[in-house]
Structure 1
């Protein structure tokens, strides 16, 4: 899933918009007994019943249910690789996603798609760049708490040492290894001419990587973390010009690890860094209270989110407040009916904040800046 998918789902769609979230299983008894298929079947029953309660006609209900029923009946589509399945259905759209998020089973019918449970996949401020360094292969990834995606670098970054220092590198490397075998490990670890020449070639290679990286990351402010052998990482740091290079690195042969193993190892190094950033935002909320830069009132936060003026949004998991907002009169009305024209107000705040570059933290009640409030915000200047 990409940010563009959120933009598409958040756009104008014909009502009703049905959102279905459910957990899935990759292995075990639940798979063998078809628990996931049965769960979706029951969720579809809920959708049909709720659509009927909202007085949609049988033709509309059948049309919306058809692609879900096809998925239930398709045996080959029930081999899941992730922990969660989400479906979005409207008269003009049908999209499904498998994501590494363990969703609670729920169905939401509104005039908009309900996107709040997807936010942990996109938590702003919890993404970073991973550069894996090997002399014969260089890769670049965008990494998050639950995701890793390779970034296209062809023609921008030299992916092999030969591409940067010339094709005589392989012959030199063979000669160097032959000398190692003849004279022992002491030659590699000493200060011999062969080692210094090799270091210079590696440094030249890494400077080429840094130049290409600068063009790719020119608009980035996210941390850059390196993965590779300790000796080569120390050389790369001499070549680096990226302003947010993370001090710690992942010590490994990157090609020995799967992308999921790289993601997990790198995330463990950076997890405390992101916790610190969240704590700094919580402290900022307390510091800015009574200055007009913060709010814990939903009727103040909704219009500010729509206007793109929310810097940071703290919102409780499972906030269940519906209502309508009239931007012309700046009028917010809370509704006790979970149906059109009312919409989930947490969705209104979260989607607008996310798409306009704000940070979002989904939190438990006692973690909130003000535990008695379901939403809190820091506003931009």
Structure 2
């Protein structure tokens, strides 16, 4: 779910160059969608003001021109979701369309403002969702707030593409009568043939999915008709499936219902994992492997020692800038950033250490 963000952060970003982080709500349909490029234009004007105060025009003007090109590109605004985030600096631009709205904001600093995106791409409750039908599947990475199709080429998602030698007339039987060796043609029943095809495909999906998620601590939530789900579970050998399931095709569910269903299933998982992290937090504190405050956590992040960074509460502009730097460093060193929804800890920033 967060792969595009992780990939973008891993690029070689020039130190000290301006980094623009732009967030805004967007609309999926007219007439509300007409206001989206206007809001974007207003945020660009605000970005210009911040850039002029802090940086040389020769450095930031190409960035603004690239953003202005987006603003007037009608195709760019055609396929909006609920929220839009744009990160841009001299190394390039990354656009994020998400199923959760953002408060409009633009930040220009030496580090990207990532917390709104990280809240959407929360990994504590993330699971794969397999939307199952008898002859094709779709794979998503979902959490309580959003569902993103997984771009992958390891699992063949359509029966017809997997079994390209499939014979549309495979319900024909050929055999011979006992004794005289003479042949006969007959027909298998269509329901019987479809059942065999479904068995073959479901076994393949279960095996291929196991290979795809090997080494990941991310379970799989199943979605589909009750009949397909029951049949799939009878055949599946993987131990990575959640017990809960969505007993309707995910593709048929509208956004509002999707969100409600995912929250019902995944909120307890999220709370359970937060509780485990807080238990680990207490153990780390007892072992002297805990630091509080941005100033104390930054040196640890620079040396790759932060295992989990906890961020909560409102932050003023000066602290936000330092939290942005800290968040970037933790993510780039393979640490985890957890945005706590409610005050669980003292202070706005705490970090558990690897050693």
Counterpart-to-counterpart distance in 1, 2:76 and 2:4 = 24
Report the 3-state secondary structure (helix = DSSP H, G, I; strand = E; otherwise coil) of the residue aligned with 1:249: strand
Counterpart-to-counterpart distance in 2, 1:306 and 1:136 = 49
Counterpart-to-counterpart distance in 2, 1:253 and 1:83 = 22
2:310–2:340 CA contact under 8 A, matched in 1: yes
- Map 1:191-270; keep pairs closer than 5 Å: 203=199, 205-253=201-249, 256=252, 265-266=261-262, 268-270=264-266
Counterpart-to-counterpart distance in 2, 1:17 and 1:223 = 35
TM-score under structure 1 normalisation?
0.72
2:76 pairs with 1:101: no
**Structure 1 residue 118 displacement after superposition:** 1.4
Extract structure 1 runs of 4+ deviating beyond 6 A.
197-201, 258-264
2:10 pairs with 1:12: no
2:135 pairs with 1:136: yes
1:127–1:222 CA contact under 8 A, matched in 2: yes
Counterpart-to-counterpart distance in 2, 1:283 and 1:313 = 14
1:158–1:208 CA contact under 8 A, matched in 2: no
**Structure 1 residue 203 displacement after superposition:** 4.7
Query: Structure 2: 5+ residue runs without aligned partners?
Result: 173-186
Counterpart-to-counterpart distance in 1, 2:95 and 2:336 = 25
Counterpart-to-counterpart distance in 1, 2:37 and 2:236 = 50
**Structure 1 residue 347 displacement after superposition:** 1.6
**Structure 1 residue 350 displacement after superposition:** 2.0
Match of 2:352 in 1: 378
Counterpart-to-counterpart distance in 2, 1:161 and 1:138 = 12
**Structure 1 residue 375 displacement after superposition:** 0.8
Match of 2:89 in 1: 90
Match of 1:369 in 2: 344
TM-score under structure 2 normalisation?
0.77
1:164–1:205 CA contact under 8 A, matched in 2: no
Counterpart-to-counterpart distance in 2, 1:110 and 1:215 = 41
Match of 1:189 in 2: none
Report the 3-state secondary structure (helix = DSSP H, G, I; strand = E; otherwise coil) of the residue aligned with 2:21: strand
Match of 1:335 in 2: none
Match of 2:315 in 1: 319
1:135–1:161 CA contact under 8 A, matched in 2: no
Counterpart-to-counterpart distance in 2, 1:312 and 1:348 = 15
**Structure 1 residue 81 displacement after superposition:** 1.6
Counterpart-to-counterpart distance in 2, 1:89 and 1:40 = 14
Deviations, residues 186-215 of structure 1 (Å, cap 9, x unaligned): xxxxxxxx7xx9877755543333222222
1:148–1:263 CA contact under 8 A, matched in 2: no
Q: 1:46 to 1:359 in 2, by over 3 A?
A: same
1:317–1:362 CA contact under 8 A, matched in 2: no
Match of 1:114 in 2: 113
